[in-house]
């Protein structure tokens, strides 16, 4: 690989710029774009509900449960381990975090518990959406033990560079995707990809900055990791969640953590532009939320 890199550097050094431009143009012209494996889905309701796991979801469910039961909706991550899962009966379940696919030892018990809850509780048709990198991972076989579950995969990654197709056109085909820093970023994108025109966010608090804690003796970074459910009941691994402190962010620096949160908010602004391109409306119906780019609108 090092030799190839040096060879390319030498070629660039001596080849005239016009020759290099011609080479890149030809490479782009004949480049094969990977087709998305993600299909469209049938709509059973005009509205699409994106259900986050933020603390405010409790209030939203108390107010709007009757209004959202039976609507097309997506739930994410640990939602199946709550009592609400069998009440709302979502038609889409999304898990984009590699932690679900890699089953690391210090997080394995929690992830397997959530996957088992999906399998054991689901008695209605359910689309589970995973990243394409999960195709050969154990999660696929574990989920397909349930006859009601169908698994689909989506592509992410950078914009398609082929100039014959625009950024938004490539998103329309899921040849790539906008930044999915969090699972809700991707959930909003896929709702637009599936051509829903009325999209509502619930439990999308995104109040992560309020949850950061710095241990004043050890300098460790902790996050309270607030959810509408009891963390102590959902998280099985101490390596993932300490019952006294919260989640230990031992694999990241403070500035990297804040940068990730920044990318999450930036992605929502990008998705707002994409929604305008699609002629769709994305409303933030959460009872409390830091996401200020979407119009606030309560569910009727």
What is the tens place of the pLDDT at every residue in 243-292? 767 777 767 899 999 999 999 999 999 999 999 999 999 999 999 999 99
Q: CA 134 to CA 99: how far, in whole Å?
A: 11
Q: Is the dihedral of CA 15, 30, 134, 258 positive or negative?
A: positive
For 228-261, give one letter per residue: b (16+ CB within 10 A) or e.
bbebeebbbbebbbeeeebbbbeeeeeeebeeeb
β-bridge partners, 74: 50, 92
Going from N- to C-terminal start, the domains of the chain cover 1-30, 47-296
Residue 75: pLDDT above 90?
yes
pLDDT for 18:
54
CB of 150 closer than 8 Å to CB of 126? yes
Q: What is the mean pLDDT of residues 216-230?
A: 89
Tell me whether strands 295-296 and 281-284 are parallel, antiparallel or unpaired.
parallel
Residue 11: pLDDT above 70?
no
Chain segment 77-112, per-residue pLDDT in tens: 999 999 999 999 999 999 999 989 988 888 899 999
3-state secondary structure of 36: coil
CB of 40 closer than 8 Å to CB of 194? yes
CB of 84 closer than 8 Å to CB of 64? no
Q: CA 154 to CA 133: how far, in whole Å?
A: 9
Residue 167: pLDDT above 50?
yes
CB of 269 closer than 8 Å to CB of 182? no
In order of 107, 223, 231, 254, the CA distances from 238 in angstroms are 8, 14, 11, 21
3-state secondary structure of 131: strand
Point out the least confidently predicted range of 11-15, 51-55, 189-193: 11-15
Q: What is the mean pLDDT of residues 55-72?
A: 95
Chain segment 24-34, per-residue pLDDT in tens: 444 444 444 55
Q: CA 40 to CA 261: how far, in whole Å?
A: 30
Class of the domain covering 47-296: alpha beta
Distance of CA 238 to the CA centre of its chain: 24
Point out the least confidently predicted range of 47-56, 184-193, 215-224, 264-273: 215-224
Q: What is the CA radius of gyration of the chain?
A: 21
In order of 25, 128, 168, 243, the CA distances from 162 in angstroms are 10, 30, 13, 49
């Amino acid at each position: 690989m090092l030799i190839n890199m040096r060879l390319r550097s030498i070629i660039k050094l001596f080849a005239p710029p016009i020759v290099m431009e011609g080479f890149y143009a030809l490479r782009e012209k004949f480049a094969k774009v990977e087709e998305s494996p993600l299909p469209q889905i049938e709509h059973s309701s005009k509205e699409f509900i994106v259900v986050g796991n933020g603390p405010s979801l409790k209030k939203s469910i108390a107010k709007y449960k009757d209004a959202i039961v039976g609507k097309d909706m997506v739930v994410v991550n640990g939602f199946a381990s709550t009592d609400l899962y069998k009440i709302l009966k979502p038609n889409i379940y999304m898990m984009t975090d590699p932690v679900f696919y890699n089953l690391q030892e210090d997080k394995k018990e929690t992830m397997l518990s959530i996957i088992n809850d999906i399998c054991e509780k689901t008695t209605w048709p359910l689309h589970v959406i995973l990243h394409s990198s999960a195709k050969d991972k154990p999660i696929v076989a574990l989920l397909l033990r349930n006859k009601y579950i169908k698994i689909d995969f989506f592509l992410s990654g950078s914009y398609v560079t082929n100039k014959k197709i625009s950024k938004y056109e490539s998103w329309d085909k899921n040849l790539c995707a906008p930044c999915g820093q969090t699972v809700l970023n991707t959930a909003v994108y896929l709702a637009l990809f599936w051509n829903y025109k009325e999209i509502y966010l619930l439990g999308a608090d995104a109040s992560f900055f309020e949850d950061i804690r710095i241990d004043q003796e050890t300098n460790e970074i902790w996050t309270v990791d607030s959810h509408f459910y009891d963390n102590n009941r959902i998280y099985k691994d101490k390596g993932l969640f300490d019952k006294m402190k919260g989640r230990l962010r031992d694999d990241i620096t403070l500035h990297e953590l804040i940068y990730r949160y920044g990318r999450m908010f930036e992605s929502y602004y990008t998705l707002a532009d994409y929604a305008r391109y699609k002629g769709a409306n994305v409303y933030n119906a959460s009872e409390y939320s830091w996401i200020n780019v979407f119009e606030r609108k309560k569910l009727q």
